Amino acid sequence: MLKSRHILTALLALCLAGFAFGIVRLFQMRFDAGDIYPPYSSLRTDPLGVKAYYESLQNLPGLSVSRFFQSNSKLEGGPRRVLFVLGTTREDLESMPPDDFQTLQSFVFSGGRLVVSLLPFADREQDDSLLFTNAAPRPRPATNAPHSSAVRRPRSRDNTNTNSEPSLIPEDVSFLAKTGLGVKYDDLAIDEHGLSHSEWAAPVHAPPGLPTRISWHSGAYFDILDTNWQTLYQRRRHPVIVERSFGAGSLVLSTDSYFVSNESLRRERHAELLAWLAGGRSEIIFDETHLGVEERPGVAGLMRQYHLQGVLLALALIAALFLWKNSVPLVPPPPGDADEGRGALVEGKQASAGFASLLRRGIAPGDLLFTCFAEWKSACARQPRAAARLPAIEAIIEEEKALPPGARRPVETWQAIRRILTQRL
């Protein structure tokens, strides 16, 4: 019987261990695939992500490649840095918080290179579906590629104010208008299955060595409002990749992000274009905050960041020693001291015992009866029933006071007073 119980316990422990291993493995596979992250995130390994581009740059010697998860206020520029903002939306660029715009502007003017690419959409209606949080994405994807379905992303800022008073929140600014650009749409062709066909983008003023054509999966193109922009690639004679210098830095915008995706690097790799996007910079940063992937460390994260694990272990050890000290003595007492310690213990007393002890210390035994009568008289003599009994009680008290201290009988006197107090009038 005992042996079978041990077998059942071992089987139960084995099942629990297998279940825990399966759960951990499931989460590990999910995070390794990266499909929990938004499209065009450098953490995704499926066709929707850009992790292949990230790791390719990481494997090149002399390059420092990292991801940016913190708030934009901590983003620093420099002539050696390039920032990739991939897979953003037109709405995010047309309605940007002023702090974010100032951060990107400072990054570029400090000598940094900023590369921004938009999500691919077949037409304007499909892109407009992102402007409403309750609107479902259009069922028609921008291309027959599996990675190009519309993804609705929440806005990073909400300036709506239901009150009549003016809002104190600064108004959003348009990144496109500030840089002298607009976005228009020239719809892609749709087949009988409702899928859009990709088209080709050709170089215009592209540097030598770049691809002679790129498959384009977006119907958007730029409306150039400032002549300082240079068109690098165009589709249907409309600019789709443009570049401009700002101070010591440069800005590159694209209406499509397919050519940097994992799927493109597998099917249609343009190594020259991907290398040109980096601009010869040695510090490459992939921004994840515009996709909603932002690091907000708590107490545990701050402790790991500042390497305070040893302090935590030290505090836990001190707490364990404190509990051990108060529960079990470090040095056990001799056997003979146990009984002696019990005799020194003082038992607790009730409140009445404490009151009696206080009376013994403050009032002499011979004056106890007279003190009690004086307190009763001051507290209860004004009551009608007590006033009627007061003369008889005072006579007994005066008779008791007339006796010598050794002949007084406080108990008999108290009993006589008690009989007067309890008798009915």
- Report the CATH number at residue 216: 3.40.50
> How much is the pLDDT for 312?
84
Which of the listed ranges 194-203, 230-239, 378-387 does the model predict with the highest average pLDDT?
230-239
Of 177-181, 330-334, 353-357, the range with the highest mean pLDDT is 177-181
**354 in any annotated domain:** no
Residue 351 lies in a domain: no
pLDDT of residue 288: 92
One domain, residues 174 and 67: yes
Q: Cα(311)–Cα(192) distance, rounded to whole angstroms? A: 66
Tell me which of 103-107, 156-160, 297-301 is least confident.
156-160
| More confident position, 27 or 274 | 274
pLDDT in tens, 48-63: 899 999 999 999 999 9
* Same domain, residue pair 86 and 220: yes
Cα separation of 334 and 254, whole Å? 85
Please tell me whether residue 80 adopts helix, strand or coil conformation: coil
Q: Are residues 41 and 99 in the same domain?
A: yes
Can you list the alpha helix ranges (DSSP code H) found in 34-79?
51-58
Please indicate, yes or no, if residue 242 is contained in any of the structural domains.
yes
Query: Is the per-residue pLDDT at 245 higher than 70?
Result: yes
- Non-local (6+) Cβ contacts of 194 within 8 A are 139, 140
As a whole number, mean pLDDT of residues 34-48 equals 85
Q: What is the DSSP string of 228-258?
A: T-EEEEEETTEEEEEEEEETTEEEEEES--G
**Dist CA 59 CA 13 (whole Å):** 44
Query: At a CB cut-off of 8 Å and minimum separation 6, what does 159 contact?
Result: 167, 169, 171, 172
Indicate whether 272 pLDDT > 90: yes
CA diameter of the chain: 132
pLDDT value for 393: 85
Look at residue 394 and tell me if it is in a domain. yes
**Residues 244 and 283 occupy one common structural domain:** yes
Nearest CA-CA partner of 266 in 34, 48, 61 = 48
Looking at the structure, do residues 284 and 196 belong to the same domain, yes or no?
Answer: yes
Q: Quick check: 151 pLDDT over 50?
A: no
- Structural domain span for residue 317: 297-324
Highest mean pLDDT among 28-42, 131-145, 224-238: 224-238
The count of other CB atoms within 10 Å of the CB of residue 258 is 26
In this structure, the answer to whether residues 125 and 224 fall within a common structural domain is yes
User: 235 and 315 in one domain?
Assistant: no
Q: Is residue 9 part of a domain?
A: no
Task: Clarify whether residues 257 and 386 are in a common domain.
Answer: no
Say whether pTM exceeds 0.85. Answer: no
Q: Does the residue 4 lie in any domain?
A: no
Confirm if 42 and 49 have CB atoms less than 8 A apart.
Answer: yes
- Average pLDDT over every residue of 222-248: 92
Q: How confident is the model at residue 136 (pLDDT cuts 50, 70, 90)?
A: very low
Q: What is the pLDDT of residue 139?
A: 34
Same domain, 306 and 274: no
Indicate the average pLDDT of the chain: 79
| Residue scoring higher pLDDT (107 or 332) | 107
Is the pLDDT confidence value at 401 over 90?
Answer: no
Count of domains for the chain: 3
Mean pLDDT along residues 26-48 = 76
In this prediction, residues 20-44 reach a mean pLDDT of 75
Q: Are residues 95 and 131 in the same domain?
A: yes
In a domain, 201, yes or no: yes
pLDDT value for 363? 82
Amino acid in the structure at residue 173: V
Same domain? 417 vs 375: yes
Same domain, 391 and 245: no
Tell me, yes or no, whether 11 lies in a domain.
Answer: no
pLDDT on residue 150: 38
